[in-house]
Amino acid sequence: KSVNNCLALLKTIFKKAAAWKMIQFNPATDVSFLKVTKEKYSWWDKEEHIIKFLQQAKQDRYYLAYRLALDLGLRLGEIIGLSKDDVNLGRRQIHVHRQWLEKEKCYGPTKQYKERFVTYAEDSDLGGLFERAIKASPHKEALFVSSSGNRLGARKLSGYHFKRLVIKAEVPDIRFHDLRHTFASWFMIKNDDIWTLKGILGHANVQTTQRYAHLSSRFQ
């Protein structure tokens, strides 16, 4: 994809140069773009699967974490790395500016080195869930903690708690990260707005977000 982006820019430059008589001919005329294999991803393509999972997860202590992935498309590391100060209840806004690095046991930048503010709807119950999570956490800053009061590990959440709920809910087996894909896919189906989706997901360029473009009504 990166090579094709560069080729597209070069082809445009040479085309303009030839049109402006700066060069005799366009050397990029016969240059073809590389074939890029479409990367497949897993997601819950039936709303009933999402409903069944959330019904099963509602009593789970990390219900909010699953909702942040399904409702707002946050990455696992971003969810684990959320601190109490990152949540503005008045503005209904989450400041996503770092992620928790499991191996290093420290904060690191977001995947694309881009901070963003993600807002949830006024009629969403996320505000109440955040308020309860902030009060319930004994940790000085971490929002999601283990039963011992320490910061919850990403592997523990995704590999144990999440997987256990998937089995109980009897829904298709997907990874925790696929909750983000599920959010993005349904966002395109319902909103048909790839540029807004790009901002919510924190992608550096729209080419990354294009993987969900086929779900737009324009392609149906």
- Percentages of the chain per state (helix, strand, coil), in multiples of 5: 50, 10, 40
Q: 137 pLDDT exceeds 90?
A: yes
Using the predicted structure, report yes or no on whether residue 37 has a pLDDT greater than 80. Answer: no
Q: Which of 95-120 are b and which e, b meaning 16 or more Cβ less than 10 Å from the residue's Cβ?
A: bbbbbbeeeeeeeeebeeeeebebeb
Tokens matching residue 177? 């990260």
- Categorize the per-residue pLDDT at 160 as very low, low, confident or very high, splitting at 50, 70 and 90: very high
Note whether 199 and 116 are within 8 A (CB). Answer: yes
Q: What is the mean pLDDT of residues 34-38?
A: 71
Greater model confidence, 8 or 143: 143
| Global pTM exceeds 0.85 | no
- Both tokens of 207, joined, read 């080419």
**Residue 216 confidence (pLDDT):** 79
Reply yes or no on whether the pLDDT at 36 is more than 70: no
The pLDDT score that the predictor gives to residue 207 is: 84
Judged against a pLDDT cut of 80, whether residue 161 lies above it is answered with: yes
For residue 190, the model assigns a pLDDT of 95
For the chain, first and last CA: distance in Å?
24
Instruction: Quickly count: other Cβ atoms within 10 Å of residue 159's Cβ.
Output: 13
Q: How many CB atoms lie within 10 A of CB 142?
A: 19
pLDDT at position 219 over 80: no
Span 175-212, pLDDT tens digits: 999 999 999 999 999 999 999 999 999 998 888 898 89
Q: What are phi and psi of 101, to 5 degrees?
A: -95, 115
Q: How confident is the model at residue 8 (pLDDT cuts 50, 70, 90)?
A: confident
Query: Nearest CA to 62 among 190, 1, 188, 152?
Result: 152
User: How do residues 58-95 score in pLDDT, each as one tens digit?
Assistant: 999 999 999 999 999 999 999 999 999 999 999 999 99
pLDDT tens for 39-68 read: 689 999 999 999 999 999 999 999 999 999
In whole angstroms, give the CA distance from residue 177 to residue 171: 16
